[in-house]
Amino acid sequence: MMELNFNGTDICAINGTRSPAEAHYDIVVVGAGPSGIAAAIEAAESGASVLLVDENPVSGALMGNDVPLYFGGRMTAATQNSDRMLEAIFMSMPAIETAMDAGVEVLLGTTAWGVYRNGPGVASLPEQLVGLADGERSWMVSFGGIVLATGARDLAMAFPGWNQPGVMGAAALQMLLSRYDAFAGRRVLVLGSHDLALETALLAHERGIEIAALVEVRDAPQGSAELLARVEAAGIAIRCGQVITLARGGVDGVSGATLSGGEEVVCDTICVAIGLIPSIELVDAMHGARALSVTRGGYIPSSEPTVSAVGDCAGLADIGFDHIAYRMEWMRGLSAVSAPDTIICQCEEVTRADLIGVQPPNYLTRPPAMCARSLETLIADGPPHPDQVKRLTRAGMGVCQGRRCRDQVAMLLAIEADKPFGTIPLASHRAPVRPLPLKIIADWHETEAMTAAWDVWFGIPTQWVPVQDLGTVHEEEHRQMLYTGMYE
């Protein structure tokens, strides 16, 4: 017999127990880049109530965990000054003020960590909700439509010595230089020679940073003729047909690098500029968005509840060549010079040998049965799935939430299985899609309906016993009362 409240409904039911949203907006835009601001302004000018959220300025703690970009520990102490960082955002992004003048409500330094909509497995939400958090608290707002303009993140690739301060991504370097003016390096070695690498090298050069060289795995530079001409005019060398074989380190991290041609390069920063990955964590954590609309420009959602993606998170622009083949060529080149003990997942210290051997990290015990398994046993059942490998090895379970290893794990599995990269899925995302302290994400107001049955929320008999009675003589009393229907 279930316990009923005064309305005659089961107090263990989820319906009606959700915390209310703090506010409602016709449109919520996540990401204040050019595409997100354009979408927010268009929606506001159409008469919609619009909330624009952006996680910048990113806290120094998140940057230290390489979230949302691969900062590699090369930011200055200025990133710890929140007021200074906020001022830098407004100075480098004047379009934010334009959006505010158009009637858009803007929240900076605010993370969107999850989007929730009714669908398979979820039918109790009163409205569509997006979870937000800043440095102090977490809360929910409801929306009619949501526009994701979350941009792109860096593709990280492992090589000997990459797991130390000073190895970073191109998008992170560009942000530190152009948005925050907070880059701590002085001499940079850039991996790659396509437009991303060339643009990053030129930006750093213009800001007074010395470029040691660009390194290209292919036998010829891959970028556009116009950018290559500018790089040549700047006197920046490109080393073709080579990869990095070692990042040497010191007290402050990277101090130099060795190339496969034998050259020793002095540098304090190694910038991985091989490619970018659309930031689709929010969509993926929803298990695929229904009625998803995609565009590379601004977008005004329709009157129907929608999830829209704009800008780089909707897919990178056509870069004129097979970027998958290019990235796989880099992965094979770096794998050829990487020893078995090369770290793949920095957070969990999973090595290349651990990944291929499907072993947990060294801080966990490895009984004989576990030591006997390998990737071959998984491949025999079909293409290996990174989610399965993640559970067995913990690769991707760390605080960076797989941003440094998610894509390269799939690439390595494709190589080991001798399968095209597209046949290997990527590890899935789950909310929260940003690492949040428990004191922030748990600090929610609970309704009386939630409090009434918090310890038995799903009606499972073993959860019916209050915590204070577990392990006492009263535990069995509760069980008997449940089974005999004595609970009123």
* Tens of pLDDT, residues 352-390: 999 999 998 888 888 888 888 888 877 877 778 889 899
For the chain, the 3-state helix, strand and coil shares in percent, each to the nearest 5, are 35, 20, 45
Rounded to 5 degrees, what angle do the CA atoms 195, 199, 202 make? 140
C-alpha dihedral over 39, 41, 44, 46, to 10 degrees?
-80
Pairwise CA distance, residues 461 & 144, whole Å: 38
- Spatial contact of 52 and 32, defined as CB atoms under 8 Å apart: yes
**DSSP class of 183:** B
Q: What is the mean pLDDT of the chain?
A: 86
Biggest CA–CA distance in the chain, Å, is 86
**pLDDT, greater one: 341 or 424:** 341
Structure tokens given for 357 = 């051997």
| Residue labelled with tokens 């050019």 | 34
Residues 6+ apart with CB under 8 A from 44: 50, 99, 102, 103, 104
C-alpha 344/C-alpha 245 separation (Å) is 15
Model pTM? 0.86
Q: Which residues contact 47 (CB under 8 A, 6 or more apart)?
A: none
Calpha distance 248→145 (Å, rounded): 49
Please give the pLDDT value at position 150. 94
Paired sense of beta strands 350-351 and 343-345, if any:
antiparallel
For Cα atoms 14, 16, 18, give the angle at the middle one, nearest 5 degrees: 75
CB 351 within 8 A of CB 359: no
On whether the CB atoms of residues 190 and 174 are closer than 8 A, the answer is no
Tokens 């997006």 correspond to 130
- Give residue 484's pLDDT band: very low, low, confident or very high (50, 70, 90): low
10-24, 205-219, 280-294, 384-398, range with greatest mean pLDDT: 205-219
Query: Is 158 a residue whose pLDDT tops 90?
Result: yes
For the chain, domains (ranges, CATH) are 23-152+278-314 (3.50.50.60), 156-274 (3.50.50.60), 338-430 (1.10.10), 444-483 (no CATH)
